């Protein structure tokens, strides 16, 4: 088993995230033949509903340090993503949100091979050229004029990021980049248009750190994970197209349509059956399952 490369997952707080992490780990184990280690970072009650058999889907586990998901006395689970560089045990890492599941054709092993010439990349679907005087103000998390005034020196790119897929290598450049991510998350210099789960959206500091370090995704768009919410209208819902062009299937979002839940549940059941496991977990509506999402 290759310890130099691996997958890191985060499941904090709710048992629901632990359940999704087990489904995702099963899909990784089957599609890669168990050749990629999966490291789970957990906290609080996230693992309380997992049997020993399902815990065995993870190669290693680590309890998340308290300060990595708190802002003072406030619990801020999304903050843990800004500490990914500190949390990974691997030299070369792919982070995945746990509300995703892998597909069988373009595996994570292939993703590592395809990205190996890079130091870093991240899922994204758009970008704004900040050198343009009349750059459009269509960035989700903040006003582009504020980004240009505070974080840009008149140039650079502002990416529409999706932090459900991040690839990086451990080196000095990435250590500096992630330090900036943490700094911006702790002390953003501009006002957010929207909050996420009651705090700063993690994709904002990742985008601001890109501008500072001139460290951008290797292509735009880069969409390894199919997400119905944005991709269905743009590229359709053909199963063959999804299998041909994507590594995984995302069910992120507060409300998941029945057809998407059905697709995810079928995949999870298939992977569990192939691995000789029982009782895969079914997708639920986050807005109903998680107290923090009811008002989003």
The reported pLDDT for the residue numbered 25 is: 98
Please tell me the chain's helix, strand, coil percentages from 3-state DSSP, rounded to the nearest 5: 40, 20, 40
Alpha-carbon gap, residue 186 to 295, rounded angstroms: 23
The reported pLDDT for the residue numbered 296 is: 44
The reported pLDDT for the residue numbered 287 is: 52
Q: Where are the domains of the chain?
A: 5-223
206: which strand partners? none
Q: Which among 25, 26, 37 has a CA at the least distance from the CA of 277?
A: 26
The reported pLDDT for the residue numbered 293 is: 45
Alpha-carbon gap, residue 55 to 49, rounded angstroms: 10
- Residue partners of 276: CB distance under 8 A and separation at least 6: none
The reported pLDDT for the residue numbered 133 is: 86
Low-confidence ranges of the chain (pLDDT < 50): 293-294, 296
Instruction: Report whether 131 contacts 231 (CB < 8 A).
Output: no
The reported pLDDT for the residue numbered 187 is: 96
Instruction: Report whether 290 contacts 253 (CB < 8 A).
Output: no
The reported pLDDT for the residue numbered 57 is: 98
The per-residue pLDDT for range 192-229, each reduced to its tens digit, is 998 887 899 999 999 999 999 999 999 999 999 999 98
Q: Residue with structure tokens 């130099």? A: 4
Alpha-carbon gap, residue 63 to 50, rounded angstroms: 15
- The CA-atom distances, in angstroms, between 30 and each of 57, 108, 201 are 10, 11, 32
The reported pLDDT for the residue numbered 7 is: 98
The reported pLDDT for the residue numbered 255 is: 77
Say what angle helices 172-186 and 203-213 make with each other, to 10 degrees.
Answer: 130
Alpha-carbon gap, residue 39 to 295, rounded angstroms: 31
The reported pLDDT for the residue numbered 3 is: 63
Phi, psi values for residue 10, rounded to 5°: -125, 130
The reported pLDDT for the residue numbered 273 is: 97
Architecture of the structural domain at 5-223: Alpha-Beta Complex (3.90)
């Amino acid at each position: 088993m290759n310890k130099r490369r691996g997958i890191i997952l985060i499941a904090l707080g709710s048992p629901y995230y632990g359940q999704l992490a087990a489904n995702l780990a099963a899909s990784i184990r089957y599609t890669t033949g168990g050749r990629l280690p999966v490291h789970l970072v957990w906290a609080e009650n996230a693992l309380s509903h997992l049997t020993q058999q399902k815990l065995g889907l993870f190669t290693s586990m680590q309890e998340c340090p308290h300060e990595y998901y708190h802002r003072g006395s406030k619990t801020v689970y999304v903050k843990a993503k800004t500490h990914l560089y500190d949390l990974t045990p691997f030299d070369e890492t792919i982070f995945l949100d746990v509300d995703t599941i892998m597909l069988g054709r373009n595996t994570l092993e292939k993703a590592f091979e395809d990205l190996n010439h890079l130091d870093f990349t991240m899922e994204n679907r758009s970008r704004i050229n900040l050198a343009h005087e009349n750059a459009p103000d269509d960035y989700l998390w903040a006003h582009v004029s504020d980004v240009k005034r505070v974080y840009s020196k008149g140039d650079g790119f502002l990416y529409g990021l999706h932090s459900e897929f991040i690839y990086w290598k451990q080196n000095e450049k990435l250590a500096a980049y992630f330090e900036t991510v943490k700094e911006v998350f702790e002390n953003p210099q501009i006002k957010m248009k929207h909050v996420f789960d009651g705090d700063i959206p993690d994709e904002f500091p990742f985008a601001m750190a890109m501008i500072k370090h001139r460290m951008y995704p290797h292509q735009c768009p880069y969409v390894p994970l199919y997400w119905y919410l944005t991709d269905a209208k743009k590229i359709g819902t053909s199963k063959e197209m999804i299998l041909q062009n994507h590594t995984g299937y995302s069910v992120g979002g507060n409300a998941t349509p029945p057809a998407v839940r059905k697709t995810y549940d079928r995949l999870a059941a298939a992977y569990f059956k192939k691995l000789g496991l029982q009782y895969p977990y079914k997708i639920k509506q986050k807005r109903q399952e998680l107290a923090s999402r009811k008002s989003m």
